[in-house]
Amino acid sequence: MSRFDWLPGFIASLAEERVAILHSDPNRLAPAHCLLLDAEDWDEGTRVASASGFRWAGLWGDQIGDRLRIYTVFVHNGDYLVLMTEVPLQAPVLASQTPYFPAANRLERHLHDLLGVDFQDHPDTRRWTRHCAWAEDVYPLRSDFPVGGDSSKRRSSDVDYPFGRILGNGVNEIPLGPVHGDITEPGHFRFQAAGEEVLSLEARLGYTHKGIEKIAVGRDASGLARLAGRVSGDSTVAHTWAACMAMERAAGVDVPPRALHLRALFAECERIANHLGDIGGICNTVGFAFAQQQFGRLREQMLRTNLTAFGHRLLMDVIVPGGVCRDLPVQWESIITPQLSTLSRELEDLLDIIDDHSSLKDRLDDTGSLKAELAQMLGVTGYVGKASGQDFDVRRDHGYAPYDGLEMQSPCRTQGDVAARLQIRADEIRVSLNLIDKLIYSLPIGPIAADWPQSVHSSVGLAVVEGWRGEIMSFIRFDEDGRVARFFPRDPSWFSLPALEHLVLGNNLPDFAICHKSVNISYSGQDL
């Protein structure tokens, strides 16, 4: 961890461009450092961040009276920098960051649809989240919009979204979704193809917009934690941990060491189960049903172990504000240890079979390749980024407890194809199995939760954790009554979806299913 040794240089670069820092606060959203800029300097500040090699990691807005406070997050050497500014609610105009950071594209459009921020010079003014569910001049996240919405008028169906097109002889436009033939979440994919070669792909999500950010307002800490666990059901541990960590920082609550170890234990169990399912799913997509059955069996065993040991297959609601609600069972040695030992042994046997399966390698090698330069530009993290040379892991590089006290390994490969994304998953399972062993045998003695304060007044908190898909971010603001005034969860799928649109180019249409499964975005994680 660099501990912001680069920050003086960045501030000096801002000064050279005559960007005035209105306020510098290392504590407001600690451990991130916050800089408040004038809205007129937003574009220059973004340009300097881009020139400094920062990774763009998130954007959200928060209505404070008659003004909108805008936050954007950058990452450099494991440190998090938050730039803030304010614009008037009646004329919320701000320079777009998308020309400098393509990853900002859809989150800026999301913020426009929900809060009405007009991002000037944005290359794409099409709506992203609205889907005709509310009028174009209505913004649901503003305080005057009712939680139940306005159903007085029937809205037209969303049939006129202007997808990009490639014109030319032999170019065909192929729609896929939003309703799919399997259990995939609803999402629309529009292909432009010449024969079977994919020339372009554009995705359209938002079909399951749930109003998460709106219905979070007014909740207490426990209610917000339960809501966070349902942002993306397969990442319930990671999203709940991030939300609780943000609330705990806002409230000044110190989580007991035993509870922190248990949170990490839950997170690694979640990581293992999902990676097992994905490896089997990738293999099944190319017809290798044996692998699907065997990895599915191992995943099911992992979920049953979760249920027996901690009371829930997916570990939903086991993390609560201030700690956890489930301790390690007394008989853990007879429940967990044998299962993980068997899983480790059978995993290696199955991976050997996969490595020796030449026809599988023919389908996975060099398919859906994402180059390191493009992965860096798009800001992808997790297994998608690590397979393309992005050696970043929040657990290691941002060092939150209890990982900061463990020897943390994080795999990284450079091939960037479907095979590499499968191999990263296998590598991460091995790391997680080792971590679980360390966490259990070093489990501190003590309580599993801290008392939550009776009231939390007008405070904010930011947290970042390493979910199984990658970096998850959560922002919380409490109002003067200790209720949630703003909640923003940022799933890593916001960045892996654009990566999918790029890595499929030049591949054959039948390979889209393999590429899609190897990326495995959470539609729900974006359809807030």
Q: Does residue 26 have a cis bond before it (omega within 30 degrees)?
A: no
Residue 469 lies in a domain: yes
pLDDT reported for residue 155: 64
Structural domain count, the chain: 2
pLDDT reported for residue 152: 64
Residue 279 lies in a domain: yes
CA distances from 108 to 202, 232, 496 (A): 17, 21, 16
pLDDT reported for residue 45: 96
- Residue type at position 528: L
CATH number for the domain that contains residue 116: 3.30.460.80
Range of the domain at 57: 7-120
Distance from C-alpha of 372 to C-alpha of 386, rounded to nearest angstrom: 9
- With the CA atoms of 112, 134, 220 and 265 taken in that order, what torsion angle do they form, in degrees rounded to the nearest 10? -70
> Are 89 and 66 spatial neighbours (Cβ–Cβ below 8 Å)?
yes
Closest CA to 518 of 268, 286, 207, 287: 286
Residues 115 and 233 in one domain: no
CATH number for the domain that contains residue 489: 1.10.645.10
Tokens at 344, concatenated: 């480790």
373 Cβ partners below 8 Å, 6+ apart?
none
10-residue block means of pLDDT along the chain (528 residues)? 84 93 90 95 96 96 95 95 96 96 96 95 91 86 85 68 90 90 85 95 91 95 97 96 97 96 97 97 93 95 94 96 94 87 94 91 94 96 97 94 93 96 97 95 95 88 97 96 95 97 96 95 94
Residues 389 and 282 in one domain: yes
Residues 468 and 356 in one domain: yes
Residues 371 and 499 in one domain: yes
Residue 256 lies in a domain: yes
> 3-state class of 88 per DSSP?
strand
pLDDT reported for residue 157: 66
Last residue of a domain, one of 120, 153, 188: 120
Residue 167 lies in a domain: no
Distance from C-alpha of 493 to C-alpha of 110, rounded to nearest angstrom: 14
Residue 347 lies in a domain: yes
Distance from C-alpha of 233 to C-alpha of 315, rounded to nearest angstrom: 10
Residues 78 and 217 in one domain: no
**Measured between alpha carbons, how far apart are the two ends of the chain, in Å?**
32
Residue 497 lies in a domain: yes
For the entire predicted model, the pTM comes to: 0.95
Last residue of a domain, one of 120, 137, 158: 120
79-88 and 67-76 strand pairing: antiparallel
Angle at CA of residue 152, ends 188 and 223, nearest 5°: 70
Residue 467 lies in a domain: yes
Residue 145 lies in a domain: no
Last residue of a domain, one of 120, 141, 160: 120
Residues 456 and 325 in one domain: yes
Residues 232 and 91 in one domain: no
Q: How is 109-150 classified by DSSP, letter by letter? A: HHHHHHH--EEET-S--S-SS-TTSS-TT--TTSTTS-TT--
